Amino acid sequence: MGEVGGNAAQEQLKLFISRIQNLEGEKKGIADDIRDVYAEAKANGYDTKAMRATIRELKLSTQVRQEQKALLNTYLAAFGISDDD
């Protein structure tokens, strides 16, 4: 009669996994969209390699800025100075 605990746990597990699979599907869809944009840009005569390099550089620059800020905070912390910003 009714479900045993083991089955309930199994159902919950299946639910978690189902959610993840759905999200992975969405993620793949987004990746496909990105491919499409690159293809469209290429069809309009743009150099996709240069575009990718540009995007990468923009991302890296942001990272460096964040890292420098973090580094400063680390130094301040090392000297017991609060770094509330």
63 interacts with a copy of itself by CB under 8 A: yes
- Minimum distance from residue 54 beta carbon to DNA (Å): 10
Q: How far is CA 25 from CA 11, 35, 39, 43, 66, in A?
A: 21, 15, 21, 27, 31
Judged by CB, which is closer to a copy of itself: 2, or 74?
74
Report residue 47 as tokens: 């150099």
Whichever of 56 and 69 has its CB closer to DNA, that residue is 56
Q: Are 47 and 53 in contact (CB under 8 A)?
A: no
Measured from the CB atom, the residue of 7 and 18 that comes closer to DNA is 18
Instruction: Check: CB of residue 48 under 8 Å from CB of residue 42.
Output: yes
Site of interaction with a copy of itself (CB under 8 A): 10, 12-14, 16-17, 19-21, 23-24, 26-27, 30-31, 33-34, 37-38, 40-41, 44, 46-47, 49-51, 53-58, 60-72, 74-79, 81, 83, 85
